[in-house]
Structure 1
Amino acid sequence: MRRSRSRFLPIGLLLLLAACASDPAMQDGTMVNDPYEASNRRTHEFNKSLDNAVIGPVSRAFSGGSEKKRDGQGGGVSGAVANVGANLSLPGKIVNHLLQGRPGPAIRNGFRFAVNSTIGLGGVLDPAGADFGLSEADTDFGETLAVWGVGEGAYLELPVLGPSTQRDAAGKVVDLVLDPLNHVLNDRQAFAAFGLRAAGKMADRARFGDTIDGVLQGSADSYAQTRLIWLMHRRHELGEEGDAFDPYATDDDAAIDPYDDPYAP
């Protein structure tokens, strides 16, 4: 299984090369690069149907219909599973922070993983955050590529996984290879870890269910709305908004009040 995972690397590199060659353009009031819109829309309709028939109902059932929150997660069993899934993702984030030249967040995630994996009962509890103030520093290899200067490339909607870009799609593939847990766990343990992380995503789907349903079911064009929201959110995460990515900015606004990104590294 580990050998098969390594075979994904050439696919990720091909996506990375495609991302380098992409050329964003203004579409529908925001800066996007969506040359695959026709196929993306077909994938979006598939994802939308899957969410309506399977993912949404399963996530609500998994969370017991509860909207309660605990430490940023859902309550009860779903919250505990989400905590474990988040804890299992930390080793890969540590590696990515180091690759980005950011040792501070890597060390914080390292201490968080150590505390929650021991006295937090494998991540079921979150003493690192509640008692030690060690909040998670989120990242992924898509952000690592952004730090290295790789452009986001074309917008993509991936089956099941949803909105992405060529850069982030390549990052998802490489993250499988970089994750240290994939190299220390046996196949059965790695599969269980993947299942826990997927269950955590189900809990997230339940927590933000009203917002997601509003976009998918309540929008006149759910594809365009999803694309706009995702791109703006992702660029905010990476500190890439700027004037070039602001769908509401005008030339006069740029001249009078240039954007000063407080999140830029």
Structure 2
Amino acid sequence: MRWAFITDIHANRQAFEAVFADARAQGATRFALLGDFVGYGADPAWVLDQVMALAADGAIAIQGNHDEAVAHGSTPGMHPDARNVVDWTRSQLGEEQLRFLTRLPLQAHGEPGNILFVHANAFEPNGWEYVQGRAEAVKSLHASNARIQVCGHMHEPMLYHLSGTGKAGDFRPLPGVPMPLPGHRQWLAIPGACGQPRDGNPAACYALLDPPTSDLDDARITFQRVAYDVDAAGAALRATAMPTVLVERLARRLALGE
């Protein structure tokens, strides 16, 4: 059984189509979708329909901060750009889709391998604090007994570990290179954003996990990058009714991977 971890799709149909096709081609049979399905991109309804279908077929789906914001609506205190995106996104969704966003859990577990899935972190899932380095990673790992944690929210791929003696480390993974996850350590994997990478590379991110088949085996994780039609994603944004200045800024970020 091979897991695919996909997070921060952000209504980017082109990126999600490319990542899902690649995951299937790589033999993925289980899917964990780690939140922020909406926000920024041009196709929230289409993306949510795919997520809802996958969840109905057994995929894990987690709520992200953008999902929460869209589910409950914009507030006067929001930045104008965020408020525009939230209001426009809500106008594209039906009642069933909004209910789905509202009812998404903040975390879930997967087997085999004792895996915890959460959008931001395990120590305060609804606080939306970023795991920006070892300090936050260790705090998240201490908050759960899971052997492997998988988080979204950060839009750059990263892998952290914690030994039984409290020694922490991190890796910036290379795409396509399998990495063993020895069972004597806890691990926190951040696959990177599918729909809006922010590491200077516009290619979509996700990760594959081969869980251990026994307590004596190591799991293996492979971080993937998938090129997709960024120009088409930008054109889809320009076809929306969101403000032109905002749309151009969002399209530019996609093209530059920022």
Give the structure, 1 or 2, with the largest relative contact order (CA under 8 Å, sep 6 or more).
Answer: 1
TM range (shorter): under 0.3
Q: Which of these two proteins has the greater Rg computed from alpha carbons?
A: 1
Structure number with the higher helix fraction is 1
**TM-score (norm. length: structure 1):** 0.26
- TM-score (ref. length: structure 2): 0.27
